[in-house]
Amino acid sequence: GKMRSMDRFKICLGVSGGLESTSVLLACVRIFKKYNLPLTNIIGVTMPGLGTTERTYNNALALMKYLGVTIRDIDLKPLLKMHLNNISQPEGKYDITYEQTQSRERTQVLLDIANQENAIMIGTGCMSEFALGWMTYGGDHLCMYALNIGLPKTVVRLYTNWLMNKYYYPEPIKKVISDILEGAVSPELLPVDENGEQHEKTEDLIGDYMVQDFFIYHNL
């Protein structure tokens, strides 16, 4: 309905190799198949930044390849480093400026690609993030259509697992989705360690999503 009203039958979304973007990508593929739209009209954009791990990056690429969507791989690191230098951000200062810069840059790239391709940018943020304010203002809360906005984080995980088991997916795709489901929730904005591991875990900072979603449910 949204695509018909805008007369745009092409979408773009950021694919990080994380839970939300995976669930949105799988849902979009199902929608496009249902209405016999070409899967190449789904533009998946992976944007490795300063804290992206090889695990999530490779999972994002593998998932898009197996699903048959259009892949755009844009390395944001040079641009981010230049921007941080331009605003005189001290090197090694990993504060909120360092983190938010990356989220906003990703959204700018996605919105620009949406305009470039005459596409709708699909958001991947979920209810839990919006309810808690765990998002970047002017960054990952901006989009043209938010698919997961009515689903709390715990439901997104269950829904993704349900999609994986409900529909026939070849084993390589199931393996990638299973690995994504097992990964810790992280914005991957802080630098990785010498082993390429990311220690920035969302639930270490805001608490267990199972508890957060419990209170969100009862508040609503």
Q: pTM (2 decimals)?
A: 0.94
Q: List Cα–Cα distances, 141 to 96, 114, 131, 187, in angstroms.
A: 16, 16, 11, 13
Structure tokens belonging to residue 88:
């005189």
DSSP 140: T
pLDDT digits (tens, 9 = 90+) for 51-84: 999 999 999 999 999 999 999 999 999 999 999 9
Note the pLDDT tens digit of each residue in 148-173: 999 999 999 999 999 898 877 889 99
Contact, 216 vs 152, CB < 8 A? yes
Name the band, by pLDDT with cuts 50, 70 and 90, for residue 142.
very high
